Amino acid sequence: MLANPITIARWMVLAGTAGVLVIAALASWFLRDQIFQTFQDPGEPFQTYTPPTGADYANANAWYALSVPDDDEEAAVFFVHPTTYSGGANWNAQLDKESANQAVIDIALPNYAAPFARSGTLYVPRYRQASLYAFMNNREDSVQARLFAYDDVEQAFDVFLLRVGDDRPILLAGVGQGGFHVLGLLLNRFADAPALRARLVAAYVIDTPVPLDLFAGPLATIPPCETAEDVRCVHAYSYARPDDTDRIRILTERTMSWTPSGDLAFVEGRGLLCVNPVLGTRSSEYATARQHRGGVAAEGLPPDTTPAPIPGQTSAQCADGILFVDEPRHRDLQRPHRLAEDFREPPFNLFYEDLRLDAARRAFALTSILQEERRWAPPLETLEEVEDAPVVPIPDRREF
């Protein structure tokens, strides 16, 4: 029996419609980051944009963490949190943006600030962070949003210095966008300040590419942390799995960072610093999973809580400026499948325990060095030239 031509036509229309929907769904999946990016665009040039109101860092409410050290020799930890604001309405987040603030409190502080807080008193400023959108492209507007956020961090750091005094050791740490800002502080506040450099435990610049040409220029006096015992140095890495081709390309080609002249430029061709967090050294040596001291997924925990690390989850090896890692076996340490995940920080710290022990070791080392240096005699002031005095002979009394 022959099928009704009208029925056949209907089935063909349905099949065609289904095919179009499948193609549209596949296109949406493959272009999901681009679609997400479109919705996060503020739609206004930064030049005509009115930024949100800034913070007064003299007030305690301008800080996520602000404490008074108990010990004069205890390190002061200045931590800059990663990006927690996606974008949409603003190039830079409002300080009262609840979702962005809650992400700092629930995720950034317990996972990323807490390992360093074990080595000193923690200071974490609120700042008008550049949106995630501003790091997903390199438009001039996006660059201006990043520099605008850095200005907030620099102002907070100046108030931090007034609070901690002139003698206390300082540990800098920043993750993602926060690492970019910490690198700016090294260039603009530490490079030409010998007294401040002498107090630097180390600067931890995590998941932010650090170009090697900076160490041949303005950071020549703040070298990479070559060994696990070094202080007054830069500890930096950006990690990826070997099959994370998109993330590797972002880190090694598409990211912009500071230049020796203080501008921003792409990192491609500039070489990148990689200090292995498992070994604490700058080397291409392979660290086995047995050496991995542990990651932590501490979302929602108070920053002063000591979570149990999950050890043995990944090997680690530096190659071509990237720290290559394995996919962790523990589900809590596996990256979620979120939009724009390659530009985000995961809700866990894969090297929590490694960083905690590394920071504690370097903080203790610098404290010991400073104690020894303060026993030395103070440096001599500028010498004054003294003219030769005329010699007048004394008469021999026997001649009289």
Residue 271 has a CB neighbour count (10 Å cut-off) of: 17
Q: How far is CA 191 from CA 125, 187, 217, 237, in A?
A: 22, 5, 10, 20
Distance of alpha carbon 63 from alpha carbon 81, whole angstroms: 11
- For residue 296, what are the β-bridge partners? 349
Please give the torsion angle defined by the CA atoms of residues 279, 281, 283 and 285, in that order, rounded to the nearest 10 degrees.
-20
Joined together, the tokens standing for residue 45 give: 């040039």
Q: Would you state the torsion angle of the CA atoms of residues 250, 254, 260, 264, taken in this order, to the nearest 10 degrees?
A: -120
Q: Note down pLDDT in tens along the chain; length 400 residues.
A: 555 666 665 666 565 555 544 454 444 434 456 677 777 899 999 999 999 999 999 999 999 999 876 677 899 999 999 999 999 899 999 999 999 999 999 999 999 999 999 999 999 999 999 999 999 999 999 999 999 999 999 999 999 999 999 999 999 999 999 999 999 999 999 999 999 999 999 999 999 999 999 999 999 999 999 999 999 999 999 999 999 999 999 999 999 999 999 999 999 999 999 999 999 999 999 999 999 999 999 999 887 788 999 999 999 999 999 999 999 999 999 999 999 999 999 999 999 999 999 999 999 999 999 998 888 746 556 666 666 656 556 565 555 5
pTM (2 decimals)?
0.87
Contact (Cβ atoms closer than 8 angstroms) between residue 186 and residue 93: no
Q: The tokens of 246 are what? A: 């998109």
Look at residues 170, 224, 174 and name the one whose alpha carbon lies nearest to residue 197: 170
3-state secondary structure of 170: strand
Given strand 63-66, what is the order of strands in its sheet? 63-66, 120-125, 75-80, 170-175, 200-206, 234-237
Domain boundaries, given as residue ranges, for the chain:
36-373
Please state, in angstroms and rounded to a whole number, the distance separating the CA atoms of residues 396 and 333. Answer: 95
Among 343, 342, 319, 369, residue whose Cα is nearest residue 200: 369
Pairing of strands 200-206, 256-258: unpaired
HSE (side-chain half, CA atoms, 13 Å) at 242:
7
Are the CB atoms for 57 and 155 separated by under 8 Å?
yes
